Each structure stands twice: as C-alpha cells, then as structure tokens.
Amino acid sequence: MSAISIINSGHFIPCYNDVGAGDSGLNALICGAPQNRGQNIEGRGAKIYLQWDGPVRIGGLPPLEQNMLHDYGAWRAVVPYGTTMYLSVSRLDVDDESDWRSAIGSAPFYMRFSPVHRDFWFERKIGELKNNIDRKITEGGAIRVGYPLP
C-alpha cells in the first residue's frame, strides 16, 4: 500500500488481520525516539509522517487494544487493526521527482510522439496530485487501520 493511497483513502490495510498477532496493524517508528541499529526509513521512495493524538500504552500482549498506540521502545510502535481514531497524516516526503511520475503512471499513448507535451502533461498531473495531497493533509481526518475500503 503506498503512502499516497493511504492519504487518499483514509485507510491503512495491514498485510493480515489476525488481532491475536502482536503486529496486526500499522507498525511504525516514533520520530525522535531511539531505534534499533539498522532500523531506518531511508531509501524507500516516500515517507509518510503520522500523528497520534490518543492514549499510549507501553508494550502490551495480543490481542492489542484498538484506538491505542502500543509503544515497544526502540523496536517499534503498533497501532492495532481496527483502530478508527487518533491517527492522522501530518506530512508526506517524496525522495525524488521521478517517484511522483511513478505515482502518476503512464502518459496517454499519443504523448509518446511529443516529449515536450508529455513533460508538460506530467508537470500538470504532478502539480494536481501534490495539491490534492496537501489539501487532504490540511483537512485532516482519521486514518483507519484495517477497515475495508468503502
């Protein structure tokens, strides 16, 4: 699931939904907190920064309580499957302009004959996408973890 699709849909769909598992939900790192050696978010294309405005529990055994951030220190933080409140997007960083092009996909077939028009088309589409993402982040709204898309 891409950062852009999370922002656009308001949903994060985990790989599996077994609430009995300790990492069923959104696994994250906490900005500014210590992290295990080798655990990082560099070189991934995009970074989505999420804000948690709800209760925090240190650790916890499965099944993890929903609408609660479970902080496991330098290892990770988990927002459990079924969470519907307190989680929002605060920022999106895209590493390279080519990643925006990848998010747009292919230009229309007829653009292949005119590189100048194709580049202009990409610039316009990328601008529209960036404006849409900025608007959605500004408007806020909770990111739901694990609920099916509407």
SS3 (DSSP) at 77: strand
The answer to whether the CB of 22 falls within 8 A of the CB of 76 is: no
Q: What is the pLDDT of residue 87?
A: 97
Query: Residue 1 pLDDT more than 70?
Result: no
Domain assignment present for 109: no
Query: Residue 32 pLDDT more than 70?
Result: yes
Domain assignment present for 102: no
Domain assignment present for 130: no
Q: How confident is the model at residue 122 (pLDDT cuts 50, 70, 90)?
A: very high
Distance of CA 58 to the CA centre of its chain: 23
Domain containing 74 equals 3-95+136-145
Domain assignment present for 108: no
The tens digit of pLDDT for each residue in 6-29 reads: 999 999 998 877 777 777 899 988
Q: What is the pLDDT of residue 85?
A: 95
> Into how many domains does the chain fold?
1
Domain assignment present for 107: no
Domain assignment present for 112: no
Domain assignment present for 128: no
Domain assignment present for 34: yes
